[in-house]
């Protein structure tokens, strides 16, 4: 929901940094891998209840997630780069809730499992829609220039980042935040399914 607004706000700054990095020979895929490494480090820090460290690492990871696309637009996008970005993003999205589950299984396990289920189904709905859209040669620039067809929804990258930040700031509220965001993610999935039924039915 907020991704379009967020992209307009941060893209000029990202482009400036990406230009410097690209000029130094940094490649987009290397930044994508760095983003995953930082995301997994964030999950590990959270698992050991280092929530402030986890927060800093999450923000650094998502900075890399913005920079890789900006660098790719300079060097030239590749299908593998787009594929890698999506796969490693999903790995990040699963790792952070897992960190909270490990940090306090008694309090967080069920809520975390519900959130991961919601992420799993939503990811499937997103990717299946992208496949069908490609099959029909549909195009969309609603979220900028992307390697795949992006459908919009209430639960997107910006909202996920905001919830992860809130979880790190208020770790005792993880179950409430997880259940709430799982519901928002489920709504996004259902709305995408309705859209698919209208467009592809």
Domain residues of the chain, as ranges? 3-200
pLDDT value, residue 3:
47
Q: For 167-194, what is the mean pLDDT?
A: 96
The reply to whether the predicted model has a pTM over 0.85 is yes
Q: Which fold has domain 3-200?
A: 1.20.120
Secondary structure letter of residue 141 according to DSSP: -
Residues 162 and 95: beta-carbon distance below 8 Å: no
Residue 91's region, left for phi above 0, alpha for psi from -120 to 50, else beta, is alpha
Give residue-wise pLDDT tens across range 121-144: 999 999 998 888 888 877 766 545
pLDDT at 184 over 80: yes
């Amino acid at each position: 929901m907020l991704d379009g607004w967020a992209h307009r706000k941060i893209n000029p700054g990202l482009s400036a940094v990406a230009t410097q990095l690209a000029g130094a020979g940094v490649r987009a895929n290397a930044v994508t891998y760095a983003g995953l490494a930082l995301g997994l480090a964030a999950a590990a820090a959270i698992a050991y209840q280092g929530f402030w460290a986890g927060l800093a690492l999450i923000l650094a990871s998502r900075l890399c997630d913005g920079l890789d696309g900006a660098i790719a637009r300079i060097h030239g996008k590749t299908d593998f780069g787009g594929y890698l970005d999506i796969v490693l993003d999903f790995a990040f999205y699963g790792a952070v809730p897992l960190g909270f589950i490990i940090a306090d299984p008694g309090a967080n396990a069920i809520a975390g499992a519900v959130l991961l289920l919601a992420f799993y189904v939503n990811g499937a709905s997103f990717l299946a829609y992208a496949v069908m859209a490609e099959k029909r040669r549909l195009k969309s620039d609603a979220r900028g220039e992307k390697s795949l067809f992006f459908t919009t929804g209430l639960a997107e990258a910006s909202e996920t980042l905001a919830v992860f930040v809130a979880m790190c700031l208020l770790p005792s509220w993880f179950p409430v935040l997880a259940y709430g965001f799982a519901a928002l993610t489920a709504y996004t999935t259902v709305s995408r399914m309705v859209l698919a039924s209208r467009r592809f039915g």
